[in-house]
Amino acid sequence: MKKAKVLFVSQEIFPYMEDSHMANIGRYLPQGIQEKGHEIRTFMPRYGCVNERRNQLHEVIRLSGMNLIINDTDHPLIIKVASITTARLQVYFIDNEEYFSRKTMFADTKGVAHLDNDERSFFFCRGVLETVKKLGWSPDIIHCQGWFTAAMPLLVKNAYKDDPLFADTKIVYSVYNDDFEKPLDKNYVEKLKQMGGFEGADLKKLKDPTFVNITKTAIDLSDAVIKASETINPDIEKYIKNINKPTLTSFWQTKAEYVEAYYALYNEVLVEQDVLID
């Protein structure tokens, strides 16, 4: 039996972003799984508010240099990396001048959402998958955290479904209290289709790309779901209660509690595979 490989794809990670429940799980969960003897890789976007000098980010030349086509336009993919030395943890950052140079995450200083948030999400999720391909690293689990990662289950189960690197990959999706108010771009589905291999049924809810609809779609295409905030969108909470797949719906405050709970969920997801997670 082999050790599990867990790919963490996080919307935000402390200390690169402000201290929050999501950022702390993004920081300490990978460490906890790594300390249990398993292989991990961790990714987040390189928002413009991430201080590269203070956090000692540097570009990984061998992984950078490709272009990703989003909405019929080539966008250079830049990969950067930083280390949290006290945890022996590396964090990879997906970067692009057009999408991630602005100093805010999802909305400007007046609270107006960035009009290209859908494309930024697509670029981030595709950038992670293409980087993992370059690393030649086949994850047993991809754990997605935050709505910005909602396109990941769609991509893995559609555009990348014939890639042997992801043939047996299971997806865990964590839902947080991070709703956005206005729907994403009305051409959300058309932009997804440009990446190829999408099934019509998987896109049905996305004709109206609201937070609820992109989250429900991510849940539909994931192998397990976590209610990661104490309170989440009530429509999503009800939806999770009625799905027939492994779920966690309790809320954990401490690192030890959520590491053990998530670890047990990974076991449940991988029970039929030749993977050691115990």
- Residue 276: what pLDDT? 52
In a domain, 75, yes or no: yes
In a domain, 277, yes or no: no
197: left (phi over 0), alpha (psi -120 to 50) or beta: left
Domain range for residue 13? 2-271
Is the Cα dihedral 104, 107, 112, 118 positive or negative? positive
Backbone angles phi, psi at 264, to 5 degrees: -65, -35
In a domain, 265, yes or no: yes
Number of domains into which the chain is organized: 1
What six digits make up the tokens of 49? 């508010």
In a domain, 211, yes or no: yes
In a domain, 276, yes or no: no
- Residue 3: what pLDDT? 85
Amino acid of residue 133: K
Measuring CA to CA, which residue among 216, 195, 196 is closest to residue 204? 216
Q: Distance (Å, rounded) from C-alpha 77 to C-alpha 250? A: 37
In a domain, 278, yes or no: no
**Cβ neighbourhood burial of 136 (10 Å; 0-12, 13-18, 19+):** exposed
Neighbours of 4 (CB within 10 A): 25
Provide the residue-wise pLDDT of the chain in tens; the chain has 278 residues: 468 999 999 999 999 999 899 999 999 999 999 999 899 999 999 999 999 999 999 999 999 989 999 999 999 999 999 999 888 899 999 999 999 999 999 999 999 999 999 999 999 999 999 999 999 999 999 999 999 999 999 999 999 999 999 999 999 999 999 999 999 999 999 999 998 878 787 899 999 999 999 999 999 999 999 999 999 999 999 999 999 999 999 888 789 999 999 999 999 999 856 555 55
Let me know: does 120 contact 45? Beta carbons within 8 Å.
yes
Backbone angles phi, psi at 22, to 5 degrees: -65, -45
In a domain, 181, yes or no: yes
In a domain, 52, yes or no: yes
- Residue 30: what pLDDT? 96
Distance of CA 212 to the CA centre of its chain: 17
- Residue 253: what pLDDT? 79
Let me know: does 27 contact 13? Beta carbons within 8 Å.
yes
Q: What is the CATH classification number for the domain harbouring 248?
A: 3.40.50.2000
